[in-house]
Structure 1
Amino acid sequence: MKFITDFLTAKESSARKDLGALLVIFGVAFFQFLGHLPLFEPDEARYAEIPREMLERGDFITPMLNYVKYFEKPPLLYWLNALSLSLFGENEFAARFACALAGLLTVLLTYHVGRTLFGRREGLFAALILGTSTGFLIQARINLTDMLVTFCMTACLGCFAIAVRDNEPRRGLYCHLGYLFAALAVLAKGLIGIVFPGAIIFLYLLLGKRWQLLKEMRLVTGTLLFLLVSAPWFILVSQRNPEFARFFFIHEHFQRFTSKVHGRYQPPWFFIPVLLGTMLPWSFFIPTGLRGVWRERLSVTGRHALYLAIWAIFIFVFFSKSDSKLVPYILPVFPPLALLMGREFVRQLDGPDRFMRIQGYVLAAILIILGVGVCIYPYFPKAKDLSPLEGLVTGSIFLVEGVAALAMSRRGNLASLFLALCFCAYLLGIVGPISLMDNVATRKSSKDLCLIVKEAAGPDAVIASFGHEQGLPFYTHRRVVTVGGMGELEFGSKQGDQSAWFMDPTQFSRVWDGPKQVFLLLRDNHINEFRPLVKTPIRELGRNKKKVLVTNR
């Protein structure tokens, strides 16, 4: 224990040694059993199927989902996943590899930024905080665009933070890297790759009274680099698909932010509990990280802290104001908050002040209550997500974490408190993906039924689903007929004649009663709605907790 504490609190140590330790520690956490679970519906399966179709068609410009045009996101994640699928095969590990790697690189990058801005210990503490934040680790192991965006945004804004340091010898390099990663952020998720860095840097120059930095930002060459990287795909996809620009920029950006068109509305305070839960156990120390930033803004390290605070607060407020909210949207605020908290933990190593002690007590109480609740949860009549053993293991981790937080807060031993929280949070991150996520998979995937179709369906068979099941085309490598609600395929269904692939139940009943064998994936309650429409008997092939697979032969 003393050896670890000494390593953690040493003011000087090789950056290579620190990065090596972080790489080993978090390489295990991010990549262990990465392909163990099936792809979750709808997001993971979607972001695996689009690159699979890119590889199949040899077209990396026009994204297609179930073989119709799909323009909701730019292509960077598709390209990376296509590369991963070509290297590792068309499997779950390959589908998640790029996002897990982005999460790991974000941890290493956070260390580099923290070490450069504040010092070795601050960088190491920040990296450990970020890597052991429960929600960050779990979401890095899921195939979503948000982790890739988080890495690109952290690289862009982190490079700028380093570039504007006084007497920075590699200012030109870091400035141009910032523009490069801004372009990659655009290719990962669209206009926020411009909006976020532009707004955050502007606010920093305004509030920090540092307008003279505009002369040092390599605006001309940086803008050229940005356009060279980001513009070609937008030009090519617009040339090939004249309908792209209006759908992507108006529907997917302006309307997503200002309206409820995507059906993802949540109240403005939605991300407050989300951040508290997903950044456990560190979220209770966010007030300490932010405290005093404005007062110290004109000092050298205070300027860096001001920049990080603007970075976190702007993104948090932006998404809170949006009418479209999902949990992963908040991921880009994790790195700056981790850096601010890491800085404050180091500043108070010799003895935490009263404010930090209070936060430690509150955290301890929450963790103990949470631990007891998780332990007894499996014994409630309607509890289905946890077995008694899983509840006991997970709840015990929270209990140990809470008791350690209470003991260390009372003693004022901040280094030991930090290590205890890191260890327990890391252990939870190791246990969670193996056991807890198995229960999520039973609700969020129909892989078992899809594989039955893959084995049984001949080349002339019709494969269909009531509503679009994203994993069905991925696991069967076949185009799927969508019956009823088209969901996010609505735009693509209107491009060209797609009548053979999008039907209402009455139209599809004629296919069911026709000469071809049909495999249909649907919910149990939809069978009773479909049965009166057909003459050919419905034969069940399999079912899970979510769906039923039936055939007409």
Structure 2
Amino acid sequence: MKTVASRRQDHPAIALAPGPCTMPHAAARSRALAAWAAAALLLLGLIWFGTLGTRSLIHPDEGRYASLALEMARSGDWVTPRLNGLLYFEKPALPYWIGALSFLGFGVSEFSARLWPGLAGFLTLLVVGFTAARLWGRKTGVRALAIAASMTWIQVNSHFLTLDAGLTLFLTLALCAVLLANNGQPDARQRRRWIWLAWAAMAAAVLSKGLVGIVIPGAVLVLVSLWRRDASLWRGLHWTSGLLIFLAITAPWFVLVSLRNPGFASFFFIHEHFARYLTEVHQREGAWWYYLPFVLVGMLPWTGALPWLLRKNRAEAGIAPRHLLATWCVFVLLFFSASGSKLPSYILPMFPALALLVAMQLRDVQADTLRRHLLLPALVWGFAALASTQSGRFVSILSPAEVLAPLASALRIGAAVMLAGLAIGWWCLGRRRITAAVLSVALSQVTATAVVLQAHNGYGQLKSAAAIAAVLQPLITPQTPVFCVRAYDQTLPFYLQRDVVLVDYEDEFALGQQHEPARSISTLDGFVARWNSLPHAAAYMSVFAWVELHQRGLPMRIVFQDPRRVVVVKP
């Protein structure tokens, strides 16, 4: 059971007048906590940002979004997104703007390409930590930041270039702004500012990935109000000024891109929202339980805390933070589970809320209970280390031994780091130093995951055109056309820093090819005629396409080949 003094630390609103002897000790403890937290945050930042540029970009998402941003930076057209020179309206422009600014400011590199998801993920951690500190005290704020940073799904998705890290930042900012407006005991002016921030964050979320940026907050607001039979959140949203802020941020780009491209609105809102969600047109279907394994793995090393989230600690009237956070997590999981288009990263917005829930419940968890919780990540990492010794069993043409061996070594190193951190955490908990234990577990998990991510680069090379570009660049000139025949690697235009000509390939380029058919070749016969008419050319293709063209006697010399891809030049 917690003492009155310990509750006073976690709940600043419960104030007892400290005696003269306790004040210097409390101040010293506060300074020590701040110093340790600052040191841990600095170490976290070094690991977090220091590893962004050490791996090649991989197909498809990283190459796609890097190429879109690079095209915007090169062309100076900040309104109409283009992928490989073709119109591309699947997502809004904010991530491309930030990516283009990153390339212009820091040069074209993997670090610049991943800077936005890395920064967005790190800012999400700060938002989580700040919110927890304001609601439940500085100690809980430090724990919440550490818990969020070490959740596997947050760290992993912040180190690959997708749109979900940016979306998660803005959705988390909107959620936390509402929490602080309604639970942080602000005055009327402060509350209005928090609500305005929530409206601005929702607008940025819409500009990051579309209508989901307002669907999730809106649905959660409806559901939690019905659950708690409390409409107080609705009355305090400053609808007039909030909608003006929202429209001032979102409307300019949507209006401009629609005026310049008449087919944008229909494609973006109908095809990319309703058809994507309600149908399987994008061929990303999955079972109803598709996301459950990702929740369990993504929460590591805090998966064992899931049962805590179901516990009611004290009577709560109205809409308390726990209600809003729990509704958020459940809705995000169910919303994407019901979708006809599923990808693992879609549920990322629920993890910062999970981190806040875990940190909130951790205030009432005894050290011995937390000790037992550490057994689960120890078992998981121990099993991973044991499985890594059997990597030879998984060798195949698509997963060669030279790729799996570094991954296996990294798993063993990561397991050693994590088990050491868990041992230190165990020791700290034996001395009732819960915050120190949380920091130890969190930093060891972040370090171990970073080690494994670096080893992933070997496997990533099988899905990257970095090596292809290194071979091809010396063999071609800026005037040499490069074709992609019945296959396309999203990273190829990025690494070549030029557009390629698509041959008998459509996929997500259908809209762009419909508007500009001259930019691609629709048939293999058309490609053969074009190839034979050129003095010099290069082509990327699948093995099957190469076999067919070789049988037709097309003059070509192989300069790169792996189990899936062939690159040729015209001799």
Q: Decide: shared fold, TM above 0.5.
A: yes
Residue 458 to residue 413, structure 1, CA distance change in 2 (3 Å) = closer
Give per-residue Cα distances to partners, 1:145-188, cap 9 Å, x unaligned: 00000001001111011111264121011010000000000000
Deviations 1:406-462 (A, max 9, x none): 88899998556534422430221331232x222232222011212333332224322
Q: What letter matches 2:382 in structure 1?
A: I
Confirm or deny: 8 A CA contact 1:289 1:343 kept in the other structure. no
Who is 1:273 aligned against?
293
**Equivalents in 2 of 1:14, 1:392: separation in Å?**
34
Deviation at residue 205 of structure 1 after TM alignment: 2.5
The correspondence of residues 182-331 of structure 1 with structure 2, limited to 5 A, is 182-292=202-312, 296-298=315-317, 303-331=320-348
The corresponding residue for 1:168 is 186
Aligned in 2, Cα 1:516/1:449: closer, same or farther, shift over 3 Å? same
Question: Does the residue aligned with 1:458 lie in a helix, a strand or coil?
Answer: coil
Alignment correspondent of 1:98:
116
Match of 2:382 in 1: 368
TM-score normalised by L of structure 2 = 0.87
Query: The residue matched to 1:540 in structure 2 has which SS?
Result: strand
Greater Cα offset, 304-313 or 276-285: 276-285
Match of 1:453 among 472, 488, 496: 472
CA distance in 1 between counterparts of 2:148 and 2:142 reads 10
SS, match of residue 559 in structure 2:
strand
Distance 1:164 1:17, change over 3 A: farther
Identity of aligned residues (%): 31
The 8 Å contact of residues 450 and 471 in structure 1, kept in 2 or not, is answered as no
C-alpha separation between the residues in 2 aligned to 1:409 and 1:376? 34
For structure 1, which runs of at least 5 residues remain unmatched after alignment?
A: 1-7
1:148 equivalent in alignment to 2:148: no
Q: Secondary structure at the match of 1:450?
A: helix
Quick one: distance in 2 between partners of 1:460 and 1:195?
47
The answer as to whether partners of 2:415 and 2:448 remain within 8 angstroms in 1 is no
Residues 163 and 174 of structure 1 are in contact (CA less than 8 Å); yes or no, is this contact kept in structure 2?
A: yes
SS in 1 for 2:404: coil
Which of residues 515, 524, 540 in structure 2 aligns to 1:505? 524
What is the TM-score of this pair, normalised by structure 1? 0.90
- Decide which moves more: 535-544 or 35-44: 535-544
Letter of the 1:342 partner, please give it.
A
Say whether residues 1:438 and 2:452 are aligned partners: no
Please tell me whether the aligned partners of residues 115 and 122 of structure 1 are also in contact (alpha carbons under 8 angstroms). yes
> SS at 2:567's partner residue?
strand
Structure 1 contact 375–395 (Cα < 8 Å) conserved? no
Structure 1 position 86, deviation (Å): 0.3
Shift of 1:115: 0.9
Q: 1:145 to 1:454 in 2, by over 3 A?
A: same
CA 1:281–1:420 in 2, change beyond 3 Å: closer, same or farther?
Answer: same
The 5 Å alignment of 1:512-531 reads 512-531=531-550
Task: Identify if the C-alpha distance between structure 1 residues 121 and 166 changes in structure 2 by more than 3 Å, giving closer, same or farther.
Answer: closer
Aligned-partner residue type, residue 95 of structure 1 = A
Which has the higher mean CA deviation after the structures are superposed, 274-283 or 175-184? 274-283
CA distance in 1, matches of 2:258, 2:381: 51
Equivalents in 1 of 2:33, 2:197: separation in Å?
20
Q: CA-atom RMSD, angstroms?
A: 2.7
The alignment of Structure 1 onto Structure 2 pairs a total of residues equal to: 537
| Residue equivalent to 1:5 | none
Higher alpha-carbon deviation: 205-214 or 160-169: 205-214
Letter in 1 for 2:327: I
Q: Which runs of 5+ in 2 are unaligned?
A: 1-8, 11-25
Counterpart CA distance in 1 for 2:285 and 2:212 is 19
- CA shift at 1:544, angstroms? 4.2
Q: CA deviation at 1:289?
A: 2.5
Distance 1:28 1:375 in 2: 30
Check conservation: 1:374, 1:394, Cα contact below 8 A: no
Picking from 97, 101, 104, the partner of 1:79 is 97
Tell which deviates more after alignment, 445-454 or 155-164: 445-454
Deviation of residue 495 (structure 1)?
0.8
CA contact (8 A) 2:225 2:231 kept: yes
Deviates more, 1:397-406 or 1:440-449: 397-406
More displaced, 71-80 or 34-43? 34-43
Partner of residue 17, structure 2: none
Identify the residue that residue 67 of structure 1 maps to in structure 2.
85
Query: Shift of residue 36 of structure 1?
Result: 1.7
Q: Which digits, 9 at most, give the CA deviation of each residue in 1:194-247, with x for residues without a partner?
A: 111111122223323331343322111011100000111111111111111111
Report the counterpart of residue 115 of structure 1 in structure 2. 133
Match of 1:483 in 2: 503
Change (3 A) 1:378 1:420: farther
Aligned pair in 2 of structure 1 residues 532, 378: CA closer, same or farther (>3 Å)?
A: closer
Q: Give the Cα–Cα distance (whole angstroms) in 1 for the partners of residues 36 and 244 of structure 2.
A: 35
Q: Could you say which residue in structure 1 is the equivalent of 2:483? A: 464
Looking at structure 2, the residues matched to 310 and 14 of structure 1 have their Cα atoms a distance apart, in angstroms, of: 36
Find the aligned partners of 1:409 and 1:368 in 2 and give their Cα distance.
21
Distance in structure 1 (CA, Å) of the matches to 2:172 and 2:36 = 19
Provide the rounded CA distance (Å) in 2 between the counterparts of 1:514 and 1:266: 46
Change (3 A) 1:378 1:396: farther
